[in-house]
Structure 1
Amino acid sequence: MPRARSADTRERIQQAALDLFSAKGVQHTSLKDIADRLGMTKPALYYHFSSRDDLVSSLAKPLIDDFDAYVGAMEADPPADRRELLGSFFDVTYRHRGLLLLAIRDLSVLQEMHLTDHVAGWRRRIVALLIGESPALADQVRGMVAIGGLSDCAVAFEGVDVDELRAAAVDAAYDTLRSE
């Protein structure tokens, strides 16, 4: 039973950190700010996270693990239909929209959470699945625009029905991939 309470506290710390990072920026949020938000002492917070970097990394880890697994699964068994791939990419992006929105608002988050290379790699690999081997530059650009726009839509539209947003974003990304 204590383990569950510890996990709950850890999740509360992560949520408070994410809220404060969104409001103040990662660079301007201290562990003391996070502890104060939760009504706990800084040493109590250190029980769960050894450092601010450890806390920041813990926020990025689920996103990294999820995207790594997703891209690996798509490469191992690519869907036959581009729309299906675009839809599943939207879904995995939408699951992590809070953290990705933070990264868009505060670009230092990409560096702080060591996400820059990961994101670029995932996008390259998904684009390769969408457009195939040795594509023309115009097709590569269409692929990047499709994936980048799809990602942006997944995080930028707050308060919109997710199914409606998904359909519109996938349609737009799919249309972008079509060459004249």
Structure 2
Amino acid sequence: MAVHAASESVVAGSGTKLAIRDAATTLFGAKGFEQTSLREVADAVGITKASLYYHYSSKLDLLMAIINPIIDHMRTVSDELAQIPRDADGIRTVLGDYLRGLIEHRDVGVLLSRDAVAILNASANRYPDILDANRALLAWLAGPDATDEGKLRAGVAIEILRVAMVSKDVVPGGSDELVERVLLDAATTVLSAGEDA
């Protein structure tokens, strides 16, 4: 019986942690990171500020809990590049994997565009991960012995995919499937257009 109660507590705890992250994402996006208090986040979830501190030690810790999954996703995609053949199917697979991770976190997009400076400051210790993942993906997409044009096309393709993070603003009623199809097609078109030249 005690084991069952303990496991319920863990599930409830992880549910509360997720609810806190979701409320913070919404409030930070609507009001801004600096302008939102932890009291407001706790009130939105229906818990005490002390309960919030049990899950997240600071507002910065909470912000990083929102941002870290996106950075971790970028790292995962870049770490797996060596295992994927660099052909048309492989390129579409990599771009699709990268894009689906961004779509999964597109609720964070408003926050990212509204509070870019706060996020850059908060994620300074993760900056090498972001930079390394981005460089690896760019180099892989551009290909070996890439021309300047190839490098630019790779950069443009990645930027097209990043539109997913602001897609809630661009197409508020747009489904995940629509965002994925349009952005993936646009990114692959940019890359393949260079092959025709």
TM class by shorter chain equals 0.7 to 0.9
2:77 alignment counterpart: 70
Structure 1 residue 175 corresponds to structure 2 residue 182: no
Q: Could you tell me which of 153, 156, 164 is aligned with 1:142?
A: 153
2:107 and 2:165 in contact (8 A); partners too? no
Q: Could you tell me which of 36, 47, 67 is aligned with 1:40?
A: 47
C-alpha displacement of 1:108: 2.3
Which has the larger helix fraction? Answer: 2
Q: What amino acid sits opposite 1:2 in the alignment? A: S
2:103 alignment counterpart: 94
Residues 93-152 of structure 1: CA deviation (Å, up to 9, x unaligned): 211212234212321243144165544433322121111134222221111111101221
C-alpha displacement of 1:72: 0.7
Q: Distance in 2 between matches of 1:113 and 1:75?
A: 30
* TM-align CA RMSD: 2.2
Q: What amino acid sits opposite 2:45 in the alignment? A: L
Q: Distance in 1 between matches of 2:152 and 2:165?
A: 20
1:126 alignment counterpart: 137
1:150 and 1:170 in contact (8 A); partners too? yes
Gaps of 5+ in 1: none
2:22 alignment counterpart: 15
| TM-score when normalising by structure 1 | 0.86
Structure 1 residue 151 corresponds to structure 2 residue 162: yes
Q: Distance in 1 between matches of 2:164 and 2:17?
A: 30
Q: Distance in 2 between matches of 1:101 and 1:79?
A: 33
Q: What amino acid sits opposite 2:159 in the alignment? A: G
2:113 alignment counterpart: 104
Q: What amino acid sits opposite 1:10 in the alignment? A: K
For these two proteins, the number of residue pairs brought into alignment is 180
2:74 and 2:98 in contact (8 A); partners too? no
Inter-CA distance 43–68: structure 2 relative to 1 (3 Å threshold): same
Q: What amino acid sits opposite 1:147 in the alignment? A: I
Gaps of 5+ in 2: 1-7
Larger radius of gyration: 2
| TM-score when normalising by structure 2 | 0.80
Q: Distance in 1 between matches of 2:80 and 2:189?
A: 24
Taking only the aligned residue pairs, the percentage that are identical comes to: 29
